[in-house]
């Protein structure tokens, strides 16, 4: 493989923004891909995948390169040289690569890879937390899987088409997909492709949504005609899935504290042909109180550490702080306590996170059930998904029912 100067410069610029300026990797990559109209899909693929891979293994590569943060540009080139050498790429005779100790790099890699926190490239606090909550065996398998690139999974919009028809439509646009067992609405891309440019996407035939995330709406056991509240709706991936499961009948109230996210949901809903969603920004406790005892179903897709989706957000490893996790657990308790009041007698709710930590999942549900707000609820079932067992994102979901 030959390295091209303009592509390598793009990677270095991207790493500078992510590591030194604190910008989000996905946003940076989106910007980089618009940098040169002459780039083909292979060029864009190189930039995106190289940036993500170096972000993923920042700690390991920096240790091998013997550089410390904040990384100046020479440091970033040294890290890049480590990445290239480990991929078996011959380094061109550019000034950035003079004195690159190629043989030493491989030896250092073998040596450092014996230590899990370096091999999987995670901060010490995350290593300690994972071990404490999951134990040696599970944590080793899970954190290794969280460093693998995630598959692209689509969820068919059954309001507009069927899984088979979507598959055929994508095939006509040179995109091959396969069915996934136990995921009724999912199609997995055989090879990565920009699905957002397809006619099928523009016509609202599908959304991109991980297979684990697709199980959450199903778990809520909704029926057409119900009044359903999605209280942490965000940009609405699960909201739209609920709408299709309800066949566009009944009412979904999608709520979030961020108006900008709900605006995105509005655009997506239009494209999906969904018209039973009402959007509400949570600016005070008023909209919550208005719905006390009114919801047949409630979805709490709670804010969480996101440790189940590091494959998609590798820079979260470096942005997350232990204090954030302590604070988010308090938020989860408050969300359960306040929002559960919207469920009517005999109604059901799902508490879900994209975390793999029991302290954010089972333990939060146990604590809620012994609280004043939760004493009228009972746990019907819960499901924990670990990435290394499923091949998809790490998730947790619990279905609770309110007594009549």
Catalytic residue numbers?
354
Residue 341 tokens read as: 């009041």
**Partner residues linked to 351 by β-bridges:** 300, 398
Residue 88 makes CB contacts below 8 A (sequence gap 6+) with none
**Partner residues linked to 398 by β-bridges:** 351, 382
């Amino acid at each position: 493989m030959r390295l091209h100067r303009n592509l390598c410069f793009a990677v270095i610029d991207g790493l500078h923004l992510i590591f030194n300026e604190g910008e989000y990797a996905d946003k940076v990559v989106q910007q980089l891909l618009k940098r040169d109209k002459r780039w083909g899909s292979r060029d864009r693929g190189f930039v995106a995948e190289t940036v993500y891979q170096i972000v993923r293994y920042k700690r390991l590569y920096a240790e091998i390169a013997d550089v410390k943060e904040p990384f100046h540009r020479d440091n970033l080139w040294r890290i890049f040289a480590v990445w290239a050498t480990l991929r078996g790429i011959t380094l061109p005779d550019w000034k950035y690569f003079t004195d690159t100790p190629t043989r030493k790099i491989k030896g250092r890699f073998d040596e450092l890879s014996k230590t899990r926190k370096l091999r999987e490239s995670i901060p010490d606090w995350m290593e300690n937390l994972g071990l404490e909550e999951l134990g040696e065996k599970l944590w080793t398998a899970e954190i290794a899987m969280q460093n693998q690139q995630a598959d692209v999974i689509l969820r068919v919009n059954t309001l507009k088409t069927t899984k088979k028809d979507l598959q055929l439509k994508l095939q006509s646009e040179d995109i091959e997909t396969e069915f996934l067992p136990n995921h009724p609405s999912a199609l997995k891309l055989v090879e990565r492709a920009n699905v957002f440019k397809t006619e099928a996407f523009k016509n609202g035939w599908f959304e991109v949504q991980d297979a684990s995330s697709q199980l959450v709406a199903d778990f809520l056991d909704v029926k057409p005609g119900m009044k359903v509240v999605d209280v942490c709706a965000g940009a609405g991936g699960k909201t739209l899935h609920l709408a299709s499961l309800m066949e566009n009948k009944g009412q979904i109230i999608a709520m979030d504290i961020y108006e900008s996210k709900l605006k995105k949901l509005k655009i997506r809903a239009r494209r999906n042909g969904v018209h039973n969603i009402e959007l509400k920004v949570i600016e005070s406790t008023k909209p919550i109180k208005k719905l006390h005892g009114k919801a047949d179903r409630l979805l709490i897709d709670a804010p969480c550490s996101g440790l189940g989706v590091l494959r998609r957000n590798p820079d979260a490893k470096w942005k997350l702080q232990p204090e954030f996790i302590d604070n988010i657990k308090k938020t989860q308790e408050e969300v359960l306590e306040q929002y559960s009041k919207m469920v009517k007698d005999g109604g059901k709710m799902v508490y879900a996170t994209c975390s793999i930590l029991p302290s954010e999942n089972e333990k939060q549900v146990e604590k809620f059930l012994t609280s004043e707000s939760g004493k009228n609820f009972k746990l019907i079932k819960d499901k924990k998904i670990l990435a290394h067992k499923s091949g998809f994102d790490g998730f947790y979901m619990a279905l609770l029912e309110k007594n009549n």
